[in-house]
Amino acid sequence: AQSVAQPEDQVNVAEGNPLTVKCTYSVSGNPYLFWYVQYPNRGLQFLLKYITGDNLVKGSYGFEAEFNKSQTSFHLKKPSALVSDSALYFCAVRDLGSYIPTFGRGTSLIVHP
Amino acid sequence: DAGVIQSPRHEVTEMGQEVTLRCKPISGHDYLFWYRQTMMRGLELLIYFNNNVPIDDSGMPEDRFSAKMPNASFSTLKIQPSEPRDSAVYFCASSPTGEEGELFFGEGSRLTVL
């Protein structure tokens, strides 16, 4: 079985400060991990994914995520937050052999000017 | 590519009416997913198709919900009869073959049942 947890419903950060949105996962095999962003009244948009290889994955809009196998985590990060980054962020996991991704509950990121 | 196209974007209807939501996936994508999003329950998978064949419909709430994919470029989600608790945003997403592929979501259909 596969599962994903986003422990924070909301993250608040000041513009220009670094941001982290947390995600932990559970799978039986090797995970495929994804981050998506949802702006108000829009569909989810793909940000980045980890399949294999380098643990630090770079994605769209300056976001990156670090895969940590020992901590079963895949936290989303950005060195300097923008007000326009304010949105709902979803972490998702797919186990090897599964075509259905499991999504987290989402974390609302609010970047204050 | 225009991406995943959903219609209508907004639908307001009265309890008991039939609702049909439509989706055009990205050409060449083998997988199509229907999700429902609400504040209370988050993002729920309703059903998914592979090569136009329904694979898993265990997320469909009840018999009032049905989904079809008559060809590779079109899918429908139908609710008959609709109830106020069906009010939600319904998303269609498509994905290329393989577990590595990310999902491409449409803009969603916001359904309000009065």
Q: Is the pLDDT of residue B8 over 90?
A: yes
The answer to whether B93 contacts A42, with C-beta atoms less than 8 Å apart, is no
Rounded average pLDDT over B80-101 = 91
Averaged pLDDT score across all residues of chain B:
94
- Can you spell out the DSSP letters for A17-63? S-EEE--EEE-SS-EEEEEEEE-TTS-EEEEEEE-SS-SEEE-GGG-
Q: Could you read off the pLDDT of B61-71 as tens digits, one per residue?
A: 889 999 999 99
- Which residues does chain A have within 8 Å of residue B106's beta carbon, measured at their own beta carbons? 43
Q: Is the pLDDT of residue A95 over 90?
A: no
- CA of B99: how far to CAs of A92, A99, A100, in Å? 12, 5, 8
SS3 B84: helix
Nearest CA in chain B to A106: B42
Q: Does B1 touch chain A (CB under 8 A)?
A: no
Q: Could you read off the pLDDT of A15-30 as tens digits, one per residue?
A: 999 999 999 999 988 8
Nearest Cα to Cα of residue B39 among A105, A18, A20, A71? A105
Q: Does A94 touch chain B (CB under 8 A)?
A: yes
